Amino acid sequence: MLPNDQVTQSVPIVNQQSVIAPPSHKSRNIIITVIIGVFIIAGIAFGATKLSGKNQTLQQNQTEISGNFDLNGIIPKNSTITLAVRKMGEKQFTDVLTNITPLDLGVWKWHQAEKGQKYDIQAYLELDGKIIEKSDILAITAPAFNNSLRINSHQQPLFANKTNISGTFDLSGTVPGGSIVTIKTFTDGEFPEQDIDVPARNKGSWSFDFALKGKNYRVIGYLKNNDEIIGQSDEFTVTAPADHEIIKIKSFVGSDNSPSSATQSGTGI
């Protein structure tokens, strides 16, 4: 027993509980944002994996079609070659290689063909955006190598055989001031090669500068005033080149011949 002056009292112990404050509105927003971000990143990763697999499959199905060009004839300067393909059963060709420099036995390659797919292939020779020659159509199954596309060019050499036909005028009768002589040249066809307008002067000279060597030309001259025919020469034939050819024209003005009755050879006018 303790002494009287040492009296102890039992002090009841109160149960203590931890009190946790609820998260603030700002904290909740951060948590939600993080969760959404995780889902977005996971979705992107999944999509990228799927796309990568698709691209890999596509690349595995791609193969090569290749060969060379067999060029014959005259290939115009600044011309290009286009390679076109179409799948078997399709109607239209699709250009797959463009602006190829034309070289005989030049190599071409197309790397995006589908394995096992049947194709028609064709080459075009182009100048100024227009197709001027084509190869035969070649049927192949991809992959395919050493395919030769032959282009036979029928183009004429530009000015290589150029020459002229020239001469003078022998004009008689009344020739009004401002009159001209229109010279028409014809080849095997009925339509003129080119019209040449020259001032009407007796003994004046004329020249057709786009004739081809060795080619036959029919030539006729018309005397005109204000677009009305007032005289015409006889037609004559020469082989180019030809010089000192005389075009004789007698004016209808003041004569009994009617200008309106004159016709231009080969035109029916």
- pLDDT value, residue 35: 76
Domain limit, last residue, from 153, 185, 204: 153
- pLDDT value, residue 261: 39
Q: How far apart are CA 100 and CA 79, in angstroms?
A: 9
DSSP assignment of 123-154 equals: EEEEETTEEEEEPPPEEEESSEEEEEEEEEE-
Tokens representing residue 264 in the block: 């231009």
The verdict on residue 198 lying in a domain is: yes
Query: Which of 154, 167, 158 has the alpha carbon at shortest distance from 240?
Result: 167
Domain limit, last residue, from 108, 132, 153: 153
pLDDT tens readout for residues 28-61: 667 777 777 777 786 676 666 555 555 565 577 9
**For 201, how many CA atoms within 13 A lie in the half-sphere containing its CB?**
7
Residue 127: count of CB within 10 angstroms of its CB: 15
Per-state percent for the chain, helix, strand, coil, to nearest 5:
15, 45, 40
- pLDDT value, residue 239: 85
- Given a contact cutoff of 8 angstroms between Cβ atoms, the answer to whether 87 and 121 are in contact is no
172 and 249 housed in the same domain: yes
The verdict on residue 221 lying in a domain is: yes
The verdict on residue 18 lying in a domain is: no
The verdict on residue 139 lying in a domain is: yes
212 and 186 housed in the same domain: yes
Q: How far apart are CA 44 and CA 127, in angstroms?
A: 48
169 and 108 housed in the same domain: no
% pLDDT > 70, the chain: 72
173 and 147 housed in the same domain: no
110 and 93 housed in the same domain: yes
Query: Which of 116, 200, 104 has the alpha carbon at shortest distance from 153?
Result: 104
Q: Is the pLDDT of residue 24 over 90?
A: no
The verdict on residue 100 lying in a domain is: yes
pLDDT tens readout for residues 149-191: 999 988 876 656 788 899 999 999 999 999 999 999 888 665 5
Q: How far apart, in Å, are the Cα atoms of 62 and each of 50, 66, 129, 238?
A: 19, 13, 30, 62
What three-state secondary structure class fits 232?
Answer: strand
pLDDT tens readout for residues 70-125: 999 888 889 999 999 999 999 999 999 999 999 999 999 999 999 999 999 999 99
Model pTM? 0.45
% pLDDT > 90, the chain: 52
CB under 8 Å to 89, separation ≥6 — which residues? Answer: none
140 and 227 housed in the same domain: no
129 and 211 housed in the same domain: no
- Given a contact cutoff of 8 angstroms between Cβ atoms, the answer to whether 194 and 208 are in contact is yes
196 and 239 housed in the same domain: yes
Task: Indicate which CATH number applies to the domain containing 140.
Answer: 2.60.40
What three-state secondary structure class fits 25?
Answer: helix
185 and 108 housed in the same domain: no
- pLDDT value, residue 8: 44
- Name which residue leads in pLDDT, 219 or 60: 219
175 and 254 housed in the same domain: yes
Q: Domain span at residue 130?
A: 61-153
124 and 167 housed in the same domain: no
The verdict on residue 249 lying in a domain is: yes
144 and 174 housed in the same domain: no
The verdict on residue 203 lying in a domain is: yes
The verdict on residue 6 lying in a domain is: no
What three-state secondary structure class fits 214?
Answer: coil
Domain limit, last residue, from 153, 182, 200: 153
Q: Tokens 């200008």 map to which residue?
A: 259
Task: Indicate which CATH number applies to the domain containing 170.
Answer: 2.60.40.10
CA 218 to chain CA centroid, Å, is 37
Radius of gyration for the alpha carbons in the chain, expressed in angstroms and rounded: 45
Domains in the chain, number: 2
Mean pLDDT of the residues in the chain = 81
